[in-house]
């Protein structure tokens, strides 16, 4: 797949993710989790590779912030998750590792990366691991959805050979 096509797919996924992120949520007790960004990270990690997955996450975070539907916390979480998902998939060629990479990248590392942002830029007091439960639940749900879709598409041969070709 050439660079123009990957860039176009990244932009399309970012646009769809921006729109759907405002509407699709899962009520979980007193909170809501928004899994669409994590779903998109897993799909773009597998289909487009690390750099385009990170680009998609950056574009989506920027669009959502410009529209007032996202927060500054989306940048580190989504970008670290997208990169780790794509990196692990590229190394193993296993869909499950893309999903696990997203959960660890966003749910743990990305959540921890938001700590300095909360303290330095927003002046909010936060515990170092205060963001981890929310990020973990959201990334787990989105990764599971992305993994499920990719498994169905692989089973139905919907990728036409492009799945593993783009992992690098």
C-alpha–C-alpha distance, residues 23 and 152, integer Å? 24
Q: Is the pLDDT higher at 125 or at 20?
A: 20
> Taking a C-beta distance cutoff of 8 angstroms, is the pair 139, 106 a contact?
yes
Strand (E) or helix (H) holding 165: helix 162-165
Task: Count CB neighbours of 72 within 10 A.
Answer: 13
CB-count exposure of residue 58 (10 Å: 0-12, 13-18, 19+): middle
pLDDT (tens digit per residue) in 109-165: 999 998 888 888 777 666 667 788 889 999 999 999 999 999 999 888 877 656 655
pLDDT (tens digit per residue) in 53-64: 999 999 999 999
pTM: 0.90
């Amino acid at each position: 797949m050439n660079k123009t096509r990957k860039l176009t797919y990244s932009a399309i996924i970012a646009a769809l993710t921006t729109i759907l992120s405002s509407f699709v949520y899962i009520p979980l007790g007193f909170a809501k989790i928004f899994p669409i960004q994590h779903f998109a990270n897993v799909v773009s990690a597998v289909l487009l590779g690390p750099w385009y997955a990170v680009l998609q996450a950056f574009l989506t975070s920027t669009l959502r912030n410009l529209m007032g539907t996202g927060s500054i916390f989306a940048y580190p979480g989504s970008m670290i998750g997208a990169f780790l998902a794509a990196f692990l998939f590229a190394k193993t060629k296993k869909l499950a590792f893309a999903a696990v990479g997203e959960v660890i990248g966003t749910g743990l590392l990305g959540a921890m990366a938001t700590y300095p942002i909360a303290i330095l830029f927003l002046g909010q007091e936060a515990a170092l691991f205060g963001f981890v439960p929310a990020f973990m639940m959201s990334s787990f749900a989105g990764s599971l959805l992305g993994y499920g879709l990719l498994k169905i598409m692989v089973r139905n041969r919907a990728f036409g050979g492009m799945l593993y070709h783009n992992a690098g």
